[in-house]
């Protein structure tokens, strides 16, 4: 079974790409969704988070769950440090040292200039990160039992957590910066200042592309993205998608404007 990592910055089309993989019959593990399940009613992270961060749980008809706003306050520390007029952030990345478990603190609730309590964040990571990895292992075990040839791990912080080492190949979704800005600024509540703050926290797109085995350019059209991923899936299913990352690496060299080597970004910025 081949394990494909999928990642990309805000507004680059990762969710769209994951949906295309699913429609092509490739199972996708969604790390963000796993965090939400773990913190939801009956989730395995609820009790340990409540013990480590008193006052961060709330009761629902379905049982106790993590109050994400309360958890955010606990991890960010003194709320007086926050600028109440600052817009909230929705980044898929913050700093290169962040881990997947930082998603346990909802970025969309985090003011742009808020600084986390590093000790509290580390404590949260120690709770959530092993649980997310366990969910991932269960997903992979089920896929192996079914004899599936190909699966995707959709992990926003794949490179930051060195998660590429668990993958046979990594796909990065990318688009021209102008297209990225248009997409993100169309989101409710988004502002140019807020977007700039988000981008300042993320690993640069160029660095993601440099580390990728395959780059899917999403700035042409949805149809072009679908065509590119369909071609890539065919290659991956036949074993022509590059060697395991711990060995020699080979860049994807599909048709221009589809799945391309990192250096060959399409010229068109149309979406």
Answer yes or no: is 14 a known binding residue: yes
Q: How many Å apart are CA 205 and CA 210, to the nearest integer?
A: 9
Q: Which residues of 223-249 are buried (b: 16+ CB within 10 A; e: fewer)?
A: ebbbbbbebbbebbeeeebbeebeeee
- Cα angle 243, 249, 252 (rounded to 5 degrees) comes to 85
| 93 assigned to some structural domain | yes
| 266 assigned to some structural domain | no
Q: Are 159 and 203 within 8 A, CB to CB?
A: yes
Answer yes or no: is 15 a known binding residue: yes
Answer yes or no: is 16 a known binding residue: yes
Count of the separate structural domains present in the chain: 1
Answer yes or no: is 11 a known binding residue: yes
What are the pLDDT digits (tens) for 24-43?
999 999 998 999 999 999 99
| 265 assigned to some structural domain | no
Backbone angles phi, psi at 64, to 5 degrees: -70, 145
Backbone angles phi, psi at 108, to 5 degrees: -70, -15
Contacts of 199 (CB under 8 A, 6+ apart): 9, 10, 91
| 270 assigned to some structural domain | no
Q: What is the DSSP code (8-state) at residue 54? A: T
User: How distant, in Å, are the alpha carbons of 29, 55, 178 from that of 268?
Assistant: 31, 50, 11
Instruction: Give the CATH number of the domain where residue 13 resides.
Output: 3.40.50.300
What are the pLDDT digits (tens) for 155-198?
988 888 889 999 999 999 999 999 999 999 999 988 998 888 77
| 132 assigned to some structural domain | yes
Residue 110: domain span: 2-260
| 96 assigned to some structural domain | yes
Assigned token pair, 234: 């065919």
What are the pLDDT digits (tens) for 108-151?
434 444 455 778 888 998 999 899 999 999 999 999 999 999 99
Burial of residue 211 (CB within 10 Å: 0-12, 13-18, 19+) is middle
| 123 assigned to some structural domain | yes
Segment 83-101 shows an average pLDDT of 36
Q: Are 109 and 68 within 8 A, CB to CB?
A: yes
Backbone angles phi, psi at 52, to 5 degrees: -75, -30
When pLDDT is cut at 50, 70 and 90, the band that residue 265 belongs to is low
57-60 and 63-66 strand pairing: antiparallel
| 268 assigned to some structural domain | no
């Amino acid at each position: 079974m081949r394990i494909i990592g999928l990642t990309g910055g805000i507004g680059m089309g990762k969710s769209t790409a994951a949906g295309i993989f699913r429609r092509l019959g490739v199972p996708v593990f969604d790390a963000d969704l796993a965090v939400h399940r773990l913190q939801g009613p009956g989730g395995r992270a609820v009790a340990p988070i409540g013990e480590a961060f008193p006052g961060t749980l709330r009761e629902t008809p379905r049982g106790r769950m993590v109050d994400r706003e309360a958890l955010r306050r606990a991890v960010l520390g003194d709320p007086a440090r926050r600028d109440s007029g600052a817009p909230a952030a929705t980044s898929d990345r913050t700093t290169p040292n962040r881990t997947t478990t930082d998603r346990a603190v909802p970025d969309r609730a985090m003011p742009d200039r808020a600084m986390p309590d590093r000790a509290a964040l580390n404590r949260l990571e120690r709770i959530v990160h092993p649980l997310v990895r366990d969910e991932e292992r269960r997903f992979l075990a089920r896929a192996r039992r079914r004899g599936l040839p190909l699966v995707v791990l959709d992990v926003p912080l794949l490179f930051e957590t060195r998660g590429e080492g668990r993958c046979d190949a990594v796909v990065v979704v990318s688009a021209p910066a102008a297209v990225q800005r248009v997409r993100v600024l169309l989101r409710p509540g988004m502002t140019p200042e807020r977007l700039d703050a988000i981008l300042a926290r993320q690993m640069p797109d160029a660095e993601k592309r440099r580390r990728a085995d395959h780059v899917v350019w999403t700035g042409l059209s949805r149809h072009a993205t679908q065509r590119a991923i369909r071609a890539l899936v065919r290659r991956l299913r036949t074993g022509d998608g590059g060697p395991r990352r711990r060995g020699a690496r080979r860049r994807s060299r599909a048709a221009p404007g589809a799945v391309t080597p990192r250096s060959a970004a399409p010229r068109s910025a149309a979406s």
